[in-house]
Amino acid sequence: MWGRPASLATVPGRDSSLAGYRAKRDFTKTPEPAGEAEASGEPFQRFVVQRHRARRLHYDLRLEMGGVLASWAVPKGPTLDPRERRAAFHVEDHPVEYLHFEGVIPKGEYGGGDVTVWDEGLWAPAREREPSSPEEAVRQGELHFDVAGHKLRGRFALVRTGVDAGGKERWLLLKKRDRYAVEGWSPEDHPRSVLSGRTNDEVKADPERLWLSSRPVGQAEVYLKRST
Ligand code: MN
């Protein structure tokens, strides 16, 4: 349903990986991307943490892997405090086109609310401790990884702790002790978007960008405030 650059190859067998994401969204109404799985072929992969005020505030940690964004919803947000154990819920993969989405999702839509890019950067698995691939580590329920973001730095671990009756996976997000660890550090003390410098309130009151899902990916992002 989406046009995309011919140089980006579709990964065989990954076509259904975004089925859950698509099923929960009506892309004729929601300004979010409906992407195709893509192969990045890059040695480093991207990550983003979006601060998302939906029915409840949470932070969405998304790690690019296998051509999609593997995603966890973290109600209290990631922290640099190694003493904290943050609950994280493994949610459906998101398309890579969603990586830097910052704006408003209309009320009544899945995830309706406002979204800011709270942090972004590069990540890599801590390879000496990983299975064959990060996707396999996620399947096995334990991923150790390093991040280089604006706010988040150093090594983290995601560990699956259980699966509820509805199939929802409960995980913990942990900051490992390293030189980037800061006891007492709270994400709520660092609320501004790393893209725009704005808070969720400021984005909600006056969104700068929309994503129009009826358009091809390359034309979907619309700047409301300035010409580009
Ligand atoms: Mn969310």
Q: Where along the chain do its domains lie?
A: 9-223
- Tell which residue, 175, 160, 7, has the closest CA to residue 80: 175
Q: How much distance in Å is there from the Cα of 128 to the middle of ligand 1?
A: 31
Q: How much distance in Å is there from the Cα of 110 to the middle of ligand 1?
A: 9
Q: What is the pTM of this model?
A: 0.79
Classify burial at 187, counting beta carbons within 10 Å of its beta carbon; exposed 0-12, middle 13-18, buried 19 or more: buried
What is the average pLDDT across 186-208? 95
Q: How much distance in Å is there from the Cα of 77 to the middle of ligand 1?
A: 11
Strands 221-223 and 209-211 turn out to be: antiparallel
Would you call 211 helix, strand, or coil by DSSP?
A: strand
Q: How much distance in Å is there from the Cα of 10 to the middle of ligand 1?
A: 26
Q: How much distance in Å is there from the Cα of 73 to the middle of ligand 1?
A: 6
Beta bridge partners of residue 156, listed in sequence order: 145, 175
**pLDDT for the residue numbered 98:** 86
| C-alpha to C-alpha distance for 9 and 201, rounded to whole angstroms | 38
What is the average pLDDT across 59-71? 96
CA distances from 37 to 64, 96, 138, 190 (A): 11, 8, 17, 32
Q: How much distance in Å is there from the Cα of 100 to the middle of ligand 1?
A: 13
**pLDDT for the residue numbered 218:** 64
**pLDDT for the residue numbered 113:** 87
Q: Which residues of 27-55 are buried (b: 16+ CB within 10 A; e: fewer)?
A: beebbbbbbbbbebeeeebbbbbbbbbbe
Q: How much distance in Å is there from the Cα of 115 to the middle of ligand 1?
A: 8
pLDDT grade, residue 215 (50/70/90)? low
Beta bridge partners of residue 91, listed in sequence order: 71
What is the average pLDDT across 69-87? 98
**pLDDT for the residue numbered 74:** 98
Name the percent of the chain lying above pLDDT 90: 57
Q: How much distance in Å is there from the Cα of 60 to the middle of ligand 1?
A: 5
Report which of residues 47 and 13 the model is more confident about.
Answer: 47
- Tell which residue, 21, 219, 223, 227, has the closest CA to residue 102: 223
Torsion sign over Cα 119, 204, 33, 158: positive
Q: How much distance in Å is there from the Cα of 83 to the middle of ligand 1?
A: 25
Q: How much distance in Å is there from the Cα of 169 to the middle of ligand 1?
A: 15
* Position 8, amino acid: L
Neighbours of ion ligand 1 (CB under 5 A): 52, 60
What is the average pLDDT across 96-117? 85
**pLDDT for the residue numbered 15:** 38
pLDDT grade, residue 88 (50/70/90)? very high
| C-alpha to C-alpha distance for 57 and 77, rounded to whole angstroms | 9
Q: How much distance in Å is there from the Cα of 59 to the middle of ligand 1?
A: 7
Mean pLDDT score across all residues of the chain = 81
For the cut 90, the answer to whether the pLDDT of residue 33 exceeds it is no
Q: Are 122 and 95 in contact (CB under 8 A)?
A: no
What is the average pLDDT across 112-132? 86
Q: How much distance in Å is there from the Cα of 72 to the middle of ligand 1?
A: 8
Q: How much distance in Å is there from the Cα of 224 to the middle of ligand 1?
A: 23
Q: How much distance in Å is there from the Cα of 55 to the middle of ligand 1?
A: 10
| C-alpha to C-alpha distance for 80 and 119, rounded to whole angstroms | 13
> Which pLDDT tens digit goes with each residue over 5-20?
333 333 333 334 565 6
Q: Are 74 and 60 in contact (CB under 8 A)?
A: yes
Report which of residues 27 and 159 the model is more confident about.
Answer: 159
Q: Are 119 and 214 in contact (CB under 8 A)?
A: no
Q: How much distance in Å is there from the Cα of 27 to the middle of ligand 1?
A: 16
pLDDT grade, residue 85 (50/70/90)? very high
Q: How much distance in Å is there from the Cα of 124 to the middle of ligand 1?
A: 23
**pLDDT for the residue numbered 3:** 35
For the cut 90, the answer to whether the pLDDT of residue 198 exceeds it is yes
Residue indicated by tokens 């300035």: 226
- List all residues 6 or more positions away from 147 whose beta carbon is below 8 Å from its beta carbon: 47, 121, 122, 123, 153, 154, 156
